[in-house]
């Protein structure tokens, strides 16, 4: 039986608590994480390792299984895989998303005392299938060692959407984190950097890292498909890559789980929380920092949109955010993580494939009366129209902005992405 998110939900609500002397990671116990609280629209919630342990006494088993997994450095013998970009990938126009499945599971875990995570998964560590060292799939990033990560989606069970963009994102994130001294095994982010970059710098090129990631993903996808061929829900896969390191080793971990279906309308989002400090690096620490915001989110809301004190809206916790203002698509041009679907959309606009005017400025809450529509995008959701935005006005009163019917331009952009995303996919597993 699993308590996973149940324990984290309780721990996140423990105000004023501080992290204990050690935290669980993929290598057992290490020094405290660099953060100790996350600001939410409902106050400050601090997650406590001590609280987690008190709620989940079996955590020691969790740590022991992680240590038994034998996380070692990258071996030099990983097979070099090859890939081709498909001219056309067959299959239906149905797209899948991890968000609906994740929300359903989270609600079930929260309400119940103990829930067994029965979702199928495959875990690959440094090029080899390995026992999964955590109790739930959510624990992979929440409790794993700090590192650079990215989440991808399969296409027709054998390709990966924007695979090359994911490789480039990981390289950029690892370099930024290493330069800052983050994820180096000390967990203090002291900004010294240098040592890990000198040790592992040769891996941080597209030519060196791409075949290793292809090998890891390919083995995971093939195993997952073979083991779950009878499950309709497992047709498409959510692929999470996590790169971790210290001064001696550099590890590549891949987790494969079912992707799930995209959320259905109406899709609601809530404004709350401040923009992250280093949005350019996809740091797994962010999955822990955003947890309090996720737990404070209303059950019927799909996403939380981050805003600054002046009311500018930057991005969601897991998505990019856009508003249609006077017929133009407005989205933040900096201070955000540039997602793969966002890249595809902006490239199409730049190349003239879409006759849409872009305004790379953060949409403003104070100009919401001018909005004709809004939408979010992510690897799992693709492009998802927003039907309602919940926010708090200057007087502290909750307000709502609805878009009914949905704006025609937003619907046009959604159809464009659903029709074209297969063309931006790279075959990983051959037939």
pTM assigned to the model: 0.72
What average pLDDT is seen over the chain?
A: 75
d(CA 104, CA 168): 32
Residues in the chain: 431
Give dist(CA 140, CA 241) in Å, integer: 10
- Of the two residues 110 and 402, the one the predictor is more confident about is 402
Specify whether the CB–CB gap between 121 and 134 falls below 8 A. Answer: no
Distance between CA atoms of residues 390 and 282, nearest Å: 27
Give the closest residue to 105 by CA, choosing from 95, 94, 116, 97.
116
Backbone angles phi, psi at 323, to 5 degrees: -130, 145
Distance CA 291, CA 286 (A): 8
Q: In which region does residue 210 sit, left (phi positive, over 0), alpha (psi from -120 to 50) or beta (all else)?
A: alpha
What's the mean pLDDT in 383-398? 92
Span of 24-33, 250-259, 418-427 with lowest mean pLDDT? 24-33
Could you report the per-residue pLDDT of 327-339, keeping only the tens digit for each? 899 999 988 988 8
Q: What are phi and psi of 245, to 5 degrees?
A: -160, 165
List of residues 6+ apart from 101 with CB closer than 8 A: 119, 233, 258, 259, 260, 261
Q: What is the pLDDT of residues 145-172, one digit of tens each?
A: 899 999 999 999 999 999 999 999 999 9
- The residues with which 402 forms a beta bridge, in sequence order, are 388
Q: What is the largest CA-CA distance in the chain?
A: 62
What is the SS3 assignment for 92?
Answer: coil
Q: CA–CA separation, 187 vs 204, rounded Å?
A: 21
Rounded Cα–Cα distance for residues 410 and 400 (Å): 19
Percentage of the chain beyond pLDDT 90 is: 48
| Full DSSP string of 111-175 | HSS-B------EEEETTEE----SSSTTHHHHTSPP-EEEEEEEETTTEEETHHHHHHHHHHHHH
pLDDT at 420: 92
Q: Which residue has the tokens 């891949």?
A: 254
Residue 95 has pLDDT above 80, yes or no: no
């Amino acid at each position: 039986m699993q308590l996973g998110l149940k324990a984290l939900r309780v721990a996140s609500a423990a105000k004023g608590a501080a992290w204990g002397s050690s935290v669980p990671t993929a290598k057992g116990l290490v020094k405290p994480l660099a953060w100790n609280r996350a600001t939410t629209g409902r106050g400050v919630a601090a997650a406590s390792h001590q609280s987690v342990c008190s709620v989940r006494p079996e955590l020691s088993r969790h740590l022991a299984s992680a240590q038994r997994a034998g996380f070692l450095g990258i071996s030099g013998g990983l097979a070099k895989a090859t890939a081709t970009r498909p001219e056309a990938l067959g299959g239906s126009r149905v797209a899948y998303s991890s968000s609906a499945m994740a929300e359903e599971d989270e609600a079930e875990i929260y309400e119940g005392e103990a829930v067994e995570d029965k979702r199928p998964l495959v875990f690959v560590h440094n090029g080899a299938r390995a026992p999964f060292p955590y109790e739930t799939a959510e624990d992979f990033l929440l409790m794993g060692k700090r590192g650079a990560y990215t989440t991808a989606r399969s296409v027709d069970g054998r390709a990966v959407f924007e695979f090359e963009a994911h490789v480039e994102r990981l390289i950029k994130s690892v370099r930024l984190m290493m330069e800052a001294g983050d994820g180096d095994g000390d967990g203090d982010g002291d900004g010294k950097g240098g040592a890990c970059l000198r040790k592992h710098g040769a891996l941080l090129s597209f030519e060196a890292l791409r075949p290793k990631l292809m090998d890891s993903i390919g083995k995971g996808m093939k195993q997952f498909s073979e083991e779950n061929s009878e499950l309709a829900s497992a047709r498409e896969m959510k692929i999470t890559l996590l790169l971790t390191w210290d001064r001696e080793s550099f590890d590549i971990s891949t987790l494969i789980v079912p992707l799930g279906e995209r959320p259905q309308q109406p899709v609601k989002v809530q404004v709350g929380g401040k923009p992250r400090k280093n949005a350019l690096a996809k740091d797994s620490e962010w999955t822990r920092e955003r947890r309090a915001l996720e737990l404070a989110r209303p059950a019927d809301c799909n996403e939380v949109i981050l805003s600054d004190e002046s009311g500018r809206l930057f991005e969601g916790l897991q998505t990019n955010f856009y508003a249609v203002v006077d017929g133009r698509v407005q989205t933040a041009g900096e201070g955000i993580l540039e997602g793969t679907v966002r890249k595809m959309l902006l490239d199409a606009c730049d190349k003239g494939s879409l006759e849409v005017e872009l305004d790379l400025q953060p949409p403003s809450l104070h100009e919401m009366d001018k909005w004709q529509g809004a939408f979010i995008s992510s690897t799992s959701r693709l492009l998802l129209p927003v039907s309602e935005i919940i926010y708090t006005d200057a007087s502290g009163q909750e307000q709502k902005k609805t878009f009914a019917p949905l704006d025609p331009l937003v619907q046009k952009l959604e159809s464009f992405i659903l029709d074209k995303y297969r063309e931006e996919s790279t075959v990983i597993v051959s037939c």
